[in-house]
Chain A
Amino acid sequence: MPSTSPLLDIENLSTSFYTDDSVVRAVRGINIQISQGEVLAIVGESGCGKSVTALSILRLLSMPPGHFDSGSIKFNGSDLLRLSENDMQKIRGNDISMIFQEPMTSLNPIFTVGDQISEVIIQHQNKTLAEARELTLNLLNKVAIPSPETRIDQYPHELSGGMKQRIMIAIAIACRPSLLIADEPTTALDVTIQAQILNLLASFRQETEMSILLITHNLGIVAQYADRVAVMYSGKIVEEAPVEILFNNPMHPYTRGLLNSLPGNDRKRKLEPIPGAVPHPAYLPKGCAFHPRCNDVMPHCQQQSPEINATDLETHQTACWLYDKSL
């Protein structure tokens, strides 16, 4: 861990959605730190709150029904949750930018891709149209789009899925952000294209020293591209560790369950799935949210939710009563 203060410091963040008949606690008191140049992955199954965490950082959730119940998101020392909408707009796309899951639906179909990239540059960098176009061409070259001079004037529907995702990346890195949030950047893409996109992101990170918050459900991507990983379940971080430590020695029963349910090693070996299904976020069970599916459940788990604590290793944290020495 570097001794300097982290680039992004999320403390005790809770985000909820208030609807007429229920309250959905999507994120329930999470702490995340990302240092400069680091890739932190958040993994978890659908509905665990990983995308809401990302959207909370950029304040892209519509409020209401969304609401920040508690916490702070410190970016370079200033709390993003306290900024005015104007100041926030100066940060979005400039200091912090985001790549979304669906390249097919996140580009505007009625503008050329060149327009969409130069929009960010003009918005944040005080450049003329001609200068912006020049920079856009450079960016297209950088993200390895073949024949950028023709592509710059094309519309999103004229490009393949992989190329659209490259355009999204070009938009995201246009202003050299210090933090890039990538929300399932390759889920909609084929494996060979996925490898191209992830390698592209990895090379930018080396070049610019930007930090990446990588949100994914694919543990293979985590193992290959992240430095540190946080596992989320029902709105809480249940385990956090450097990648090698987590994969060598998973501690939380949920993390172990995830790794045991991955196919691909041996046809004869039976998979050990986690029984049951993820609870509905509006009707979470009492105590630890994972206890109804947990193989190591103890009476105490049904009463009280565990806090995240360091294990024997300083960098390896987990929220599970199994490792609580007071019990």
Chain B
Amino acid sequence: MTPLISIRSLKKYFPIYEGLFSRIAGQVKAVDDVSLDIMEGETLGLVGESGCGKTTVGRMSICLIEPTSGEVCFDGANILNMSATNLGKLRPKMQIIFQDPYSSLNPRFTVERIIGEAMMIHGLADRINLKSKVAEIMNKVGLPGSLMSRYPHEFSGGQRQRIGIARALALSPRYLVCDEPVSALDVSIQAQIINLLQELQEKENISILFISHDLNVVKHLSHRTAVMYLGQIVETAPTETLNKKAAHPYTQALLAAKPSINPHESINRVPPLSGDVPSPLNPPPGCYFHPRCPEATDRCKVERPVISQLEKLHTVKCHLYD
């Protein structure tokens, strides 16, 4: 099976300017050599702590941010060196749902315009049938079509996120980036949105890149999970494998730090990681994780680990498995 989305050695370095003449003083390596495949109809979870570059990967994968180098292939064609016209034609096939349902909807637009604008532009609706098409999509995400003349401020957080999902689905995408779509929502509302995403994916066979810092949500939704740390992917595995036998010490620490809702299952199986995530402006030499790693050896301090294959689909970037 060929992947729908194939990302190869993707890099994004943000320059730091300094002084009167905006001299480039350094680079933030937000994403450093990331490769990922997403199959047709698959949900790939991308987890990591804040600042690890997961959002940047998501945005680059649909060409909202231009990468420094690397390639992103959509259905076999590299979208990064495509002409603007061709990329424009592909845009409806790649959509994104943003984290914050409060700031990602234009407050001056009615819901009809928010959902319908892109449909008009891409010729999926015209003035005559716009209302009925918008109503159809709103029903799909569980909103009554009668609310389409309202403005975003008249909706609750959960409803706004449904509008965001409706806007993305309006163009019947094949690839959807969900950038922390439920982190701003309460637990009971979060479950509604998770179920909605799961249903929609099963019905429409969309490929999803699901970005989150919540391991429970990722575990529930994704077929495969990739773990990011400081701009690099340190482990990729089918979600079940990752939860049962995580290989990378960082993945193990992340799983251990997640408080369980079973009061008998004590959290302190593994002591929590010490220290903070280092600055991507000045990452440590060798393995980026070594200053916090409980199993770090001298080799980790000087040599960067490469990807090793543990099982089919299970890869890890750590000297322990060389």
Residues of chain A contacted by B189 (CB below 8 angstroms): 45, 273, 277
A218 at the A/B interface (Cβ < 8 Å)? yes
Decide: A191 and B254 in contact? CB cutoff 8 A. yes
Decide: B191 and A277 in contact? CB cutoff 8 A. no
Of B49, B263, B275, which is within 8 A of A243 by CB?
B263
Q: Determine the distance from Cα of A296 to Cα of B276 in the docked complex, in whole angstroms.
A: 47
Given contacts A191-B215, A191-B254, contact A262 B261 (CB under 8 A): yes
Q: Determine the distance from Cα of A15 to Cα of B174 in the docked complex, in whole angstroms.
A: 50
**CB closest chain-A residue, reference B222:** A267
Mostly, the B contact residues are helix
Q: Determine the distance from Cα of A191 to Cα of B229 in the docked complex, in whole angstroms.
A: 13
Q: Determine the distance from Cα of A292 to Cα of B189 in the docked complex, in whole angstroms.
A: 15
Q: Determine the distance from Cα of A199 to Cα of B259 in the docked complex, in whole angstroms.
A: 11
A257 at the A/B interface (Cβ < 8 Å)? yes
Decide: B216 and A218 in contact? CB cutoff 8 A. no
Of A46, A247, A274, A275, which is within 8 A of B262 by CB?
A247
Given contacts A45-B187, A267-B239, A273-B191, contact A195 B263 (CB under 8 A): no
Of A243, A259, A263, A272, which is within 8 A of B216 by CB?
A263
Residues of chain B contacted by A217 (CB below 8 angstroms): 186-187
Residues of chain B contacted by A312 (CB below 8 angstroms): none
Q: Determine the distance from Cα of A258 to Cα of B191 in the docked complex, in whole angstroms.
A: 9
Residues of chain A contacted by B186 (CB below 8 angstroms): 45-46, 217, 278
Given contacts A196-B272, A263-B194, contact A274 B267 (CB under 8 A): no
**CB closest chain-B residue, reference A267:** B220
Decide: A224 and B267 in contact? CB cutoff 8 A. yes
A207 at the A/B interface (Cβ < 8 Å)? no
Decide: B261 and A263 in contact? CB cutoff 8 A. no
Per-position binary interface string of chain B over residues 234-264, scored 1 when its CB falls under 8 Å from any chain A CB and 0 otherwise = 0000010000000000000110111111111
Decide: B263 and A220 in contact? CB cutoff 8 A. no
Decide: B267 and A263 in contact? CB cutoff 8 A. no
Given contacts A45-B187, A261-B191, A271-B194, contact A190 B50 (CB under 8 A): yes
Q: Determine the distance from Cα of A146 to Cα of B262 in the docked complex, in whole angstroms.
A: 33
Decide: B213 and A190 in contact? CB cutoff 8 A. yes
Residues of chain B contacted by A247 (CB below 8 angstroms): 261-263
Q: Determine the distance from Cα of A263 to Cα of B261 in the docked complex, in whole angstroms.
A: 11
Decide: B220 and A271 in contact? CB cutoff 8 A. yes
B9 at the A/B interface (Cβ < 8 Å)? no
Residues of chain B contacted by A274 (CB below 8 angstroms): 188, 191
Decide: A223 and B187 in contact? CB cutoff 8 A. no
| Most chain A CB inside 10 Å of its own CB: which residue of B49, B158, B188 | B188
Decide: A195 and B195 in contact? CB cutoff 8 A. no
Residues of chain B contacted by A322 (CB below 8 angstroms): none
Given contacts A199-B272, A224-B267, A271-B195, contact A261 B187 (CB under 8 A): yes
Q: Determine the distance from Cα of A311 to Cα of B158 in the docked complex, in whole angstroms.
A: 34
Decide: A192 and B257 in contact? CB cutoff 8 A. yes
Residues of chain A contacted by B267 (CB below 8 angstroms): 195, 224
Q: Determine the distance from Cα of A219 to Cα of B190 in the docked complex, in whole angstroms.
A: 14
| Most chain B CB inside 10 Å of its own CB: which residue of A160, A163, A223 | A223
Residues of chain A contacted by B276 (CB below 8 angstroms): 160, 162-163, 193
Chain A residues engaging chain B, CB cutoff 8 angstroms: 45-46, 146, 160, 162-163, 190-196, 198-199, 217-221, 223-225, 243-244, 247, 257-267, 270-275, 277-278
The 16 sampled A-B contact pairs (Cβ below 8 Å) are A163-B276, A192-B49, A192-B272, A195-B267, A220-B260, A220-B261, A223-B260, A223-B262, A223-B263, A225-B259, A247-B263, A262-B191, A262-B261, A263-B217, A265-B220, A274-B191
